[in-house]
């Protein structure tokens, strides 16, 4: 989510632009390619960060003539941090709030995900020529029905992937599944699994020879988050029951930054709680808005 802030004498007001990027790569792809084309799905979060998010920030900045507040959750955090390593992008951002940051994934505790990584499901899918991951397709629907109805209840399935969510409203699961998960690319899954295996926050690894052609080096370049300027205020929220954004990996991210972000740690929260907890407003969002307000008030006196 991208926000700008306007001030009057009585209150701070945020105008928001909610951006969905999971199922698309770039404007070029949307214009020239159909979703049935292999090339349409030739992207990972790397392209989402350096093209989609970067272009959205430029657009909002151009329209509003103001610096932007950025809010990201999970994959949105790695997109944000990767984009912030680019000086021309970070200069347009006033502050950022990152929920469940996953820039490092080598300490995830999700047995479900670790099992998929172990059998190299990502590589199998790509080898089979499957480039789109769509749980709304006929095959995807059958898999979801099988997992939720035949073998394991959906709230348990979600917990197996994301960690135990303390305050998620289980009765709303069927409603949420009408809209989630969005289609993604097999390449994106492969990139995320590379992060788990390698323990690095780096660009997509094509293999030595293709890396040489694309990056002029045998290994993919890392996103150096120490290049994110200390002038960018950061806020991070993470939970003790999060099986994806493990506290050890969050600390790895914090050590890589030159700045010291404001932190919110909630011991009982899992990965989904930061979005859908019945207590999220008081537990999370009030503190996040307090942070944004404090940044805006400080900048208004400069």
Q: Domain holding 217: CATH number?
A: 3.40.50.1820
Options 271, 273, 277, 283, the catalytic residue: 271
Question: What is the number of domains present in the chain?
Answer: 1
Q: What is the band of 8 on the pLDDT scale with cuts at 50, 70, 90?
A: very low
Q: How far is CA 130 from the centre of its chain?
A: 23
The model's pTM is 0.88
Full residue range of the structural domain in which residue 73 is found: 2-300
Residue 21 CB contacts under 8 Å (≥ 6 apart), including other chains: 48, 52, 53, 79
Are the CB atoms for 280 and 273 separated by under 8 Å? yes
Q: Catalytic residue at 271?
A: yes
Residue of higher predicted confidence among 33 and 246: 246
Q: How confident is the model over 242-258, as pLDDT tens digits?
A: 999 999 999 999 999 99
Residue 264 pLDDT greater than 50, yes or no: yes
Residue 267 CB burial class (10 angstroms; 0-12, 13-18, ≥19): exposed
Average pLDDT for 107-126: 93
Are the CB atoms for 244 and 113 separated by under 8 Å? yes
Q: How confident is the model over 213-240, as pLDDT tens digits?
A: 999 999 999 999 999 999 999 999 999 9
Q: Tokens at residue 272, please? A: 């989904």
Are the CB atoms for 95 and 235 separated by under 8 Å? yes
Options 19, 26, 29, 74, the catalytic residue: 74
* C-alpha to C-alpha distance for 36 and 137, rounded to whole angstroms: 13
Q: Tokens at residue 52, please? A: 């989609």
Give the per-residue pLDDT at 180.
66
Give the per-residue pLDDT at 176.
72
Options 242, 246, 273, 283, the catalytic residue: 242
Residue 42 CB burial class (10 angstroms; 0-12, 13-18, ≥19): middle
Average pLDDT for 265-292: 97
Q: Catalytic residue at 74?
A: yes
Residue 145 pLDDT greater than 70, yes or no: no
Q: Catalytic residue at 242?
A: yes
Are the CB atoms for 256 and 250 separated by under 8 Å? no
Q: Tokens at residue 290, please? A: 């307090």
Are the CB atoms for 256 and 231 separated by under 8 Å? no
């Amino acid at each position: 989510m991208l926000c700008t802030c306007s001030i009057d004498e009585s209150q701070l007001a945020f105008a928001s632009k909610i951006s969905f990027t999971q199922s698309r790569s770039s404007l070029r792809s949307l214009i020239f390619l159909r979703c049935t084309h292999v090339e349409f799905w030739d992207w990972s979060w790397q392209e989402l960060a350096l093209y989609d998010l970067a272009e959205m920030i430029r657009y909002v900045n151009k329209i509003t003539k103001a610096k932007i507040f950025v809010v990201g959750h999970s994959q949105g955090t790695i997109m944000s941090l990767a984009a912030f390593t680019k000086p021309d992008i970070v200069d347009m951002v006033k502050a950022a709030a990152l929920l469940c940051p996953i820039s490092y994934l080598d300490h995830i505790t999700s047995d479900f995900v670790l099992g998929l990584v172990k059998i190299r499901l990502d590589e199998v899918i790509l080898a089979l020529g499957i480039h789109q991951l769509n749980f709304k397709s006929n095959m995807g629907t059958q898999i979801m029905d099988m997992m939720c109805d035949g073998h394991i209840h959906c709230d348990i399935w979600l917990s197996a992937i994301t960690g135990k969510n303390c305050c998620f409203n289980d009765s709303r699961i069927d409603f949420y599944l009408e809209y989630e998960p969005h289609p993604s690319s097999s390449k994106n899954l492969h990139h995320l699994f590379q992060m788990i295996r390698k323990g690095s926050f780096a660009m997509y690894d094509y293999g030595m020879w293709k890396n040489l052609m694309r990056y002029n080096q045998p290994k993919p370049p890392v996103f150096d988050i120490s290049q994110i300027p200390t002038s960018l205020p950061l806020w991070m929220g993470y939970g003790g029951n999060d099986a994806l954004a493990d506290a050890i990996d969050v600390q790895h991210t914090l050590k890589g930054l030159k700045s010291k972000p404001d932190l919110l740690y909630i011991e009982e929260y899992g990965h989904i709680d930061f979005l859908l907890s019945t207590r999220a407003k008081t537990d999370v969002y009030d503190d996040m808005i307090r942070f944004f307000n404090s940044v805006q008030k400080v900048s208004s006196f400069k």
